[in-house]
């Protein structure tokens, strides 16, 4: 296999965006082309989950080609639920590693503002099992609520640990100009003070308002290239060194132990094996905290901490921006936002920015190896990536 490098990146602010879906895709693409100085690419992948239903638009990848005048380059849309972004990066990797292409653009884009909150919840629930989950009213927040309750009981995680994830990630987001939420929160404000329960109402017991990511619009882009092309680009050399993908049962209730996220574990194992590194070699990571509990559990399943000890590492400050292994320096899905199809590409954008040493106020010192975990379904299709600075 040929080596594959990230040569360009771009991102929109994750927010409520006024412009059409194709422009949400085009903006970070143009930014990434400027970043590496190329005006042509061999192929384009677009990660998107909701275009057909929410925006009345299919074939988004073809639309983007037109918007950027990139024809006759080929283009395809990739969908793997909320893990669409990392899946699209993997397709880009394979296109270059195989020798089919030398330069591939990978864009993630989502415009969810067309949907009100109820419809957005229903839309995301369309990834659940139609006959065993959807028809009984299962939503992602309800699955996350039940999962959290089991996890609390088994491992001693408390609501205060969940709040610590939210506070850490909101604090990190204050240093990220592209983050959706620039709202400092405190334990007093969301858990302890007199207004805490008003500020932070129960949504899906035991998960409260601040345990949920926002519904965001947004786009992100990375441009991948062969070693030969990459060496001509005057940007830091960041290699996409490992990719792991794994699946699990569609229904959470069919898992032998529903508190295990086996697809996360296996995807990480495959990724580290391919990159020839160990979890302890990772300097900075973006984990998929669509719900606060997920950051804690993923930090265990990928191998950063022992099972049941993720909340203790969090509590000790190990995963804070100035800790030993900063997690979600971007603000994570919790505060940076979660435009579903764009999220995985956004995670890669953050890691590449960190490895390049261009993360400004939120820069992790001497970050050489970065990791992302992009979580599809309720953990039934997970894609992990490892990036290494050379």
Integer Rg of the chain from CA: 19
Q: Does 381 bind its own copies (CB under 8 A)?
A: yes
User: Does residue 143 contact residue 212 with C-beta atoms inside 8 Å?
Assistant: no
Separation between Cα atoms, residue 288 and residue 337, nearest integer Å: 11
Q: Does 215 bind its own copies (CB under 8 A)?
A: no
- Which token pair is 384? 């992990």
Scan residues 250-309 and list those touching its own copies (CB under 8 A): 250-251, 262-263, 266
Scan residues 89-128 and list those touching its own copies (CB under 8 A): 90-91, 93-95, 97-100, 123, 126-127
Candidates 27, 36, 41, 79: give the one binding its own copies (CB under 8 A): 79
Q: Does 139 bind its own copies (CB under 8 A)?
A: no
139 Cβ partners below 8 Å, 6+ apart? Answer: 121, 122, 124, 125, 128, 204
Separation between Cα atoms, residue 274 and residue 210, nearest integer Å: 36
Q: Does 22 bind its own copies (CB under 8 A)?
A: yes
Q: Does 194 bind its own copies (CB under 8 A)?
A: no
Q: Does 330 bind its own copies (CB under 8 A)?
A: no
Candidates 77, 142, 200, 369: give the one binding its own copies (CB under 8 A): 77
Find tokens 């699209």 and name the residue: 88
Helix (H), strand (E) at residue 386: strand 381-389
Which CB sits closer to its own copies, 65 or 146? 65
User: Does residue 376 contact residue 82 with C-beta atoms inside 8 Å?
Assistant: yes
Q: Does 62 bind its own copies (CB under 8 A)?
A: yes
Scan residues 358-377 and list those touching its own copies (CB under 8 A): 376-377
CA distance to 4, 188, 207, 310, 351, per residue, from 388 (Å): 11, 39, 35, 24, 10
Burial per residue of 247-272, b for 16 or more beta-carbon CB atoms within 10 angstroms, e otherwise: bbbbbbeebeebbbbbbbbbbbbbbb
Candidates 33, 61, 204, 355: give the one binding its own copies (CB under 8 A): 61
Candidates 179, 246, 261, 342: give the one binding its own copies (CB under 8 A): 246
Q: Using DSSP, state whether 13 is helix, strand or coil.
A: coil
Which CB sits closer to its own copies, 218 or 341? 341
Which CB sits closer to its own copies, 66 or 315? 66
Q: Does 24 bind its own copies (CB under 8 A)?
A: no
Which CB sits closer to its own copies, 85 or 331? 85
> Residue 74 CB, nearest distance to its own copies (Å)?
3
Candidates 383, 385, 386, 389: give the one binding its own copies (CB under 8 A): 383
Q: Using DSSP, state whether 193 is helix, strand or coil.
A: coil
Scan residues 140-169 and list those touching its own copies (CB under 8 A): none
Candidates 131, 194, 234, 256: give the one binding its own copies (CB under 8 A): 131
Separation between Cα atoms, residue 76 and residue 318, nearest integer Å: 40
Q: Which stretch binds its own copies (CB under 8 A): 25-33, 87-95, 172-180, 221-229?
A: 87-95
Angle between the N-to-C axes of helices 292-301 and 140-155, in degrees from 0 to 180, rounded to the nearest 10: 60
Q: Does 226 bind its own copies (CB under 8 A)?
A: no
Closest CA to 388 of 362, 358, 352: 352
Q: Which residues bind its own copies (CB under 8 A)?
A: 1-2, 20, 22, 43, 49-50, 52-53, 56-59, 61-63, 65-67, 70-81, 87, 90-91, 93-95, 97-100, 123, 126-127, 129-131, 134, 243, 245-251, 262-263, 266, 376-377, 380-381, 383
């Amino acid at each position: 296999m040929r080596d594959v490098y990230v040569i360009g990146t771009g991102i929109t602010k994750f927010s409520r965006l006024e412009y059409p879906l194709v422009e949400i895709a085009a903006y970070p693409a143009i930014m990434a082309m400027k970043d590496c100085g190329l005006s042509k690419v061999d192929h384009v992948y677009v990660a998107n989950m909701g275009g057909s239903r929410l925006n009345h638009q299919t074939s988004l990848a073809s639309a983007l080609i037109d918007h950027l005048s990139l024809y006759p380059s080929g283009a395809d849309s990739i969908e793997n639920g909320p893990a669409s972004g990392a899946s699209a990066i993997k397709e880009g990797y394979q296109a270059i590693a195989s020798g089919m292409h030398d330069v591939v653009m990978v864009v993630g884009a989502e415009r969810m503002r067309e949907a009100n909150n109820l419809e957005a919840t229903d839309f995301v629930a369309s990834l659940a099992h139609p006959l065993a989950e959807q028809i009984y009213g299962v939503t992602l927040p309800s699955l996350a609520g039940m999962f959290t309750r089991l996890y609390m009981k088994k491992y001693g995680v408390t609501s205060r640990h969940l709040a610590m994830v939210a506070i850490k990630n909101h604090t990190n987001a204050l240093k990220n100009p592209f983050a959706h939420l620039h709202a400092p929160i405190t334990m007093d404000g969301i858990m302890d003070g007199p207004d805490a329960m008003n500020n932070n109402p129960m949504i899906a017991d035991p998960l409260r308002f601040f345990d949920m990511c926002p519904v965001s619009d947004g786009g992100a882009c990375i441009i991948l290239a062969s070693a030969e092309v990459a060496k001509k680009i005057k940007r830091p050399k960041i290699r996409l060194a490992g990719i792991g993908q794994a699946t699990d049962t569609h229904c959470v209730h069919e898992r032998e132990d529903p508190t295990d996220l086996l697809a996360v574990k296996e995807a990480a194992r495959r990724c580290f094996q391919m990159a020839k590194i160990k979890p302890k070699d990772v300097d900075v990571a973006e984990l998929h905290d669509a719900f606060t509990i997920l950051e804690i559990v993923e930090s265990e399943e990928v191998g950063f901490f022992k099972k049941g000890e993720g909340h203790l590492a969090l509590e000790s400050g190990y995963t804070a921006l100035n800790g030993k292994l900063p997690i979600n320096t971007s603000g994570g899905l919790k505060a940076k936002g979660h435009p579903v199809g764009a999220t995985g590409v956004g995670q890669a954008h953050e890691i590449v920015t960190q490895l390049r040493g261009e993360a400004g106020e939120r820069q992790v010192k001497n970050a050489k190896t970065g990791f992302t975990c992009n979580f599809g379904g309720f953990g039934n299709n997970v894609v992990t990536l490892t990036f290494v600075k050379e």
